[in-house]
Structure 1
Amino acid sequence: MINVTKTFFPPLEEYKEQLQRIWSNEWLTNRGELYQELSQELKKYLGINFIIPMTNGTLPIQIALKALANEGEVITTPFSYVATTSSIVWENCTPVFVDINPEYLTIDETKIEAAITPETTAILATHVFGNPCNVEVINEIAKKYNLKVIYDAAHCFGVTYKNTSIFNYGDVSTCSFHATKLFHTGEGGAVICQDEALNNDIYRRHNFGHSTKTEFEGVGINAKMSELQAAMGLCVLPYMTNIILDRKRICNYYDTNINWDNLNKLKIREHTNWNYSYYPIIFKTEEDCIKVVKKLNKQDIFPRRYFYPSLDTLSYVDATYCPVSNDIASRILCLPLYNNLEEEILNIIIQSI
């Protein structure tokens, strides 16, 4: 079976070595030695000042919204994974959808201002498939209207824009370390802040609100990463160069060998050093997309209609039809992309298309 993605497993002996450290320390969670080491290694690798690894990739969005959005209206994209919108609703905020750019697939920054009302408190935009939003324009809008900016950067591990980590834009960026992601801790995620005071506030919020062992500063929740998760991260991180290079090989093979006469692909924003996290193709029609999915499925190959459906169609949000997002969502397909995917399989996928 060939799925759209496959977890990278580091050598088992290397993971056992990290587990031995946990057993020796007799410490499983609550900012243990491995957690602290992973945090420092991630800051160095990514070129960032602050990071708070957490137990999954959704809690970082929820905590950021709790800290910054104040239960107001949050301008967001309909073209993202459902966690982006569900987190807004979960935190008693109101999602306000703005359509997407048909080439970059990120939120259309030219339409954001028209969606701002006196109730707007934040912008939550997604760097789609690791492709950056127009961060400069969004920053200008946020300053003009005194809004907070949260980026769902779930797909962005290792992405740089204008020679700096994409995580260094906005008030907060969140990332996923889920098992299917480029870098993973089995389950996991992180918050990256630009401001130390905000970083400290979010740290308290992810640890029940503790300011000391016996004092609390505001309401909090439990989003702590365990030592077992940190152990996996420490084993995966040294392989990131090879992981990205092999995924680049596969993307280049698709680029070169797919017949693009009736297809389009994602346009990567200028000045971006991309991470090859996903390989989406866009068909001329939804019928073509479904036809290819069925043909591949018959060969035990399972691409994914990702992102589908457009989030403005969810049952628990106010209807705000976004025609570009709905159109793209109906025609887009992410092809299998993971380390050591053989050219023999790539050729079957390409021929099927």
Structure 2
Amino acid sequence: MSQTTSRVSELIVTLSLFEIGSTTLFMLGGEAKQDAWLAMLIGAIVGLFLLLLHLSIHRQDPSLDLFLLFRRYLGKYLGTIMNLLFVGYFTYETSRNLRDLGEVTVMTLLNQTSLWIIMLVTIIVISNTVRYGPEIFFFVCMIIFPVIVITYVVISILIPATGLLHIEFFQPILEKGLKPVLKAAIPDIVSFPFGQTVLFLVFYPLATKGRNLSRAVIISYSLTALFLTAFNQLNILVLGPKLAANITLPFLTTVQLIQLPEVLERMDAFFTLVLFLGLGVKMAAFFNGATIGMERITGISSKKWVLPLAALIYGLAFISPNYIHHIEIGRGVVVKYWWPVFQFVLPLLLYIVMLIRRKKKAS
């Protein structure tokens, strides 16, 4: 893998786009109804503590990425097992985003096109991006960042301007107490999207040295979390808590309600294209993480792993027979039980081992 460095600004922009990714596709914290914004904030705060854990791990040995850290501090055999697990995690996450993109395309734009064709074209495009390495990927994120930001700013202006907001849907706050809010936030919202920043332990060593990386990452994370909280709550304020929680694509439905006769009548098509960019960023980020992991494990160049992993990702995307099953597996199993292991348990284990070894070395 290339050892060239990337600017901190490129890294934090990529982190922001990665967090946005497919998040606006779903209604997060719908179980908390009008208190979804509280669930999002709690999830973001817990996710911030996970981020601080990840950054602490990086600061212990800033020249090593996630895979090299496990190999160095847990030994050759146990470290390799951990690395394979993380490669599996990143690969499966890529496949889930591929399926999301394919299903959304069929539902919104190309309903006469076969799902397998859409996903095949997508994985080819993403594979070509990954082939050039993370540095080029970061640069691409810098280019598309203004497009995504401007789109969301326009949407945030048009929704209240067209009279779609219903502030009364904020009430009553904590109608059934704090328990439903905590249940919605932990572990679901923590795992998706906030805990997924564990991936960036692979990328932090690429950042230009001599800059305050941790501060920049925390600011980027915090601003993105506030953005996601606000846009997630827009679903509630436009559609109402019950409807927003039960629609397959709530924010797309919200955007479809924007109507400016003879000026703007298909904002949903533009938003869908921006959503594709976000999904593409998330796929490319996880895919890069998986290829780098395979290089660390085998010593074979990450470029040579692009094609085999792309084939695996494409196959994994078809595990679920339909989109409903795909969502149920995602929300009911992997988010609740699998991802916390990779986002918290294994990083915490690594951090404890690092501290113990550092203490022994000092003594």
For the aligned pair, the TM-score class normalised by the smaller chain equals: under 0.3
Pick the structure with more strand per residue. 1
Question: Under a length normalisation based on structure 1, what TM-score does the superposition of the two structures give?
Answer: 0.27
1 or 2, which has the higher helix percentage? 2
Query: When the two structures are superposed, what TM-score results if normalisation uses the length of structure 2?
Result: 0.26
